[in-house]
A = this chain, B = another copy of it.
Amino acid sequence: MTGPAAPTPSALAALHPLALDAVRFDPDGLLGGWQRRNADATLPHVIEQLTTYGNLDNLRRVTGDADAEFTGMWFADTDVYKTLEALAWSGTFPEFLADISALLEKAQEPDGYLDSYYQVERRDQQWTDLGFSHEMYIAGHLIQAAVAAARGAGSPQLVTVARRFADLLVRRFGADGDDVIDGHPEVETALVELYRLTGHGAYLDLARRFLDLRGHGRLGDGRFGPRYWQDHEPLLTADEATGHAVRQVYLLAGAVDVAVETQDTALLAAAERLWDSALASKTYLTGGQGSRHKDEGFGDPYELPPDRAYAETCAAIGSFQLAWRLLLATGRSSYADEMERLLYNGIAASTALDGRAFFYSNPLQLRTGHDGSHEDTPSQRLTWYSCACCPPNLARLMASLHAYAATSTSAGVQIHLYGAGTVTAESFVLDVRTSYPWEETITISVAAAPDQPRTLSLRVPAWCRDARLTVNGSLIRAGAQSGYLPITRTWKAGDVVTLTLAMPPRLIAAHPRVDAVRGSVALTRGPIVYCLEHADVPPSLSGVPFEDLSIDAGSPIALGTGIAPVTLLPTLRVRTAESDLLYRPLSPDGPDRPGATVPAIPYFLWANREAGPMRVWIPLAATGSSTAG
């Protein structure tokens, strides 16, 4: 059994997932540590919150085992399903998984319907408001949990429940049924996964049908117009990622799943085109997507404000899952690069160091004087949200993270994400030692090998301009070459491969059309985006407003250590204020005055200390020439 997104043998696929247990991360490594934290802290916390916030009682009132009012969002059932999915991937809390599966079976209606919001007082409203009801979105998360339970921890009961609901969808909305779609895509990818699990073609057909029906304005204008739910234009002709970011990336994930299973290269190309459009002008440096709070939407091209970045955690997770599907379909390293960027930045930043608090939106700047009093713009991670989609989504991703690290082809094994641990592809067993991304070198020892020649392919990220590869101490390749470095040989136990990815600190500029960060740079090293946080400003600068710090781009940047094994040490300067006026005639500014060296920390670690300002994009120090303010 494999992990998430397992194409059938007949699917279009350049790469194939390994078995779910093929990769095991060392719990003392960064990735393995995240998985351990997820199992030890996040999952117990999430389960507790599902009780505290009434999600479980919502289901129990359907069965008559609770009599409280329905509480939370009308799609609160999905928080339960994503949690079950996480438990299934991680093999933890099997009793909870079994208990809730039994509860779900009891709560399910005879026809297969299952939605605790609509099952008690609102029976007559079932299927009447598909734009907003999320009923199929809920079905999709139930199905995904069931697929995970079948592939992971094993729970036939959950699969039975999910199939009953899926069969209802087929009866009601299949080719002979109503021409409708759900306002929130999600069920498409779930149905394809259920098809993969069961071999039942009707699920694939229904997913295809939902894709075909979308893009013709069936959902109407809703609150934000048809682009919000990607119903303005069919996928095959759409040329721009738009609308609600989570909906867009979930929809594209479903499109890739359908495309590969139906060998529809035009649909696959459409998904790639839309994804490319997002990366070209609508993605944050962290991989985050969605520039607007109002509609949780992508916004216009190049509209990427760091302070109001919405960059919803669920969108980052959806993008990661989409990139994985595109990677499997095409084998292109750029998709794995994007998974890496998302993982270490947009996704990792969402969880607190203790694993029990989360960001929903992920801004790249927090100002002095920020009003963090509301959950829409908190100054620090919160333990839960009134719409709690993100925490259990993080839990299910982290629980399955190892499944995304490597793939296989008939010729060999490809490693995409580097974490200390082991990779087992049938008789080919690799021991990976590294402190990546803190250190530059990944050492891979062959623990066991087949007799035949095998190709080991190692990803060289596009950010790397100097990769050095050795096999048993002999330099094989060096220089700037992104993509996969293949090494084909008849391997023997004891063979050692080292890949060294040079990670100099780097100043990154944005495309000039990104007005919001003009005249600013970001600091990166390897895949990690860094940020300045108030807590690291030394006493010598304590009277300086955080926003008046600028960076001396000409000074070298040393490496330090602190909250992370590697911090960066840029030289900052302090803006010389010409005037306190908000607007003033343009005049030459004096050069910024000397500041200090201030540690920049990985963005994903911000807001783990006292709340205060932070910024990824740092203004370039004024040099004294005639420029604006």
Contact = CB atoms under 8 A, between A and B. Distances in A.
Given A293-B292, A308-B303, A515 B279 contact: no
Contacts of A306: 515
Contacts of A627: 519, 620
A240 B368 CA distance: 13
A553 to B, nearest CB: 6
Q: Which of A293, A545, A585, A587 has the most CB of B within 10 A?
A: A585
Given A511-B583, A586-B553, A373 B520 contact: no
Q: Which of A293, A294, A371 has the most CB of B within 10 A?
A: A371
A193 to B, nearest CB: 31
Contacts of A301: 367-369
A261 interface: no
Contact of A370 (B300, B370, B374): B300
A586 B376 contact: no
Interface string A357-394: 00000000101111101101000000000000000000
A628 B280 contact: no
Interface in A501-523: 506-522
Interface residues of A, number: 77
A629 interface: yes
A285 interface: yes
Given A369-B301, A373-B227, A513-B548, A585 B619 contact: no
Nearest to A370: B300
A281 interface: yes
A509 B583 contact: yes
Contacts of A514: 582
Contact of A509 (B374, B580, B586): B586
Nearest to A228: B374
B508 A583 contact: yes
Contacts of A242: 371
B585 A506 contact: yes
B308 A292 contact: yes
Contact of A515 (B369, B517, B554, B623): B517
Nearest to A225: B374
Interface string A25-65: 00000000000000000000000000000000000000000
Nearest to A232: B373
A225 B617 CA distance: 29
A307 interface: yes
B518 A520 contact: yes
Given A232-B373, A279-B582, A585-B506, A619 B225 contact: no
A625 interface: yes
A369 B227 CA distance: 14
B367 A300 contact: yes
A73 to B, nearest CB: 14
Given A369-B240, A515-B517, A517-B515, A586 B508 contact: yes
Contact of A580 (B307, B365, B511, B517): B511
A283 interface: yes
Contacts of A506: 585
Contact of A628 (B516, B519, B586, B626): B519
A224 interface: yes
A294 B376 contact: yes
B585 A507 contact: yes
Contact of A583 (B510, B581, B623): B510
Interface string A216-245: 000001001111100010000000101000
Interface in A293-323: 293-295, 300-303, 305-308
Contacts of A489: none
A503 to B, nearest CB: 13
Given A285-B583, A369-B240, A518-B520, A619 B508 contact: no
Given A507-B586, A583-B285, A584-B508, A518 B619 contact: yes
A263 B122 CA distance: 57
Contacts of A534: none
B520 A515 contact: yes
27 contacts: A224-B376, A227-B373, A227-B374, A279-B582, A280-B580, A280-B582, A285-B583, A294-B294, A295-B376, A300-B369, A300-B370, A301-B368, A302-B367, A305-B308, A508-B583, A509-B628, A511-B583, A511-B584, A512-B619, A513-B545, A514-B582, A515-B516, A515-B520, A518-B519, A520-B628, A522-B583, A623-B625
Interface of A: 221, 224-228, 232, 240, 242, 279-281, 283, 285, 292-295, 300-303, 305-308, 365, 367-371, 373-374, 376, 506-522, 545, 547-548, 553-554, 575, 577, 579-587, 617, 619-620, 623, 625-629
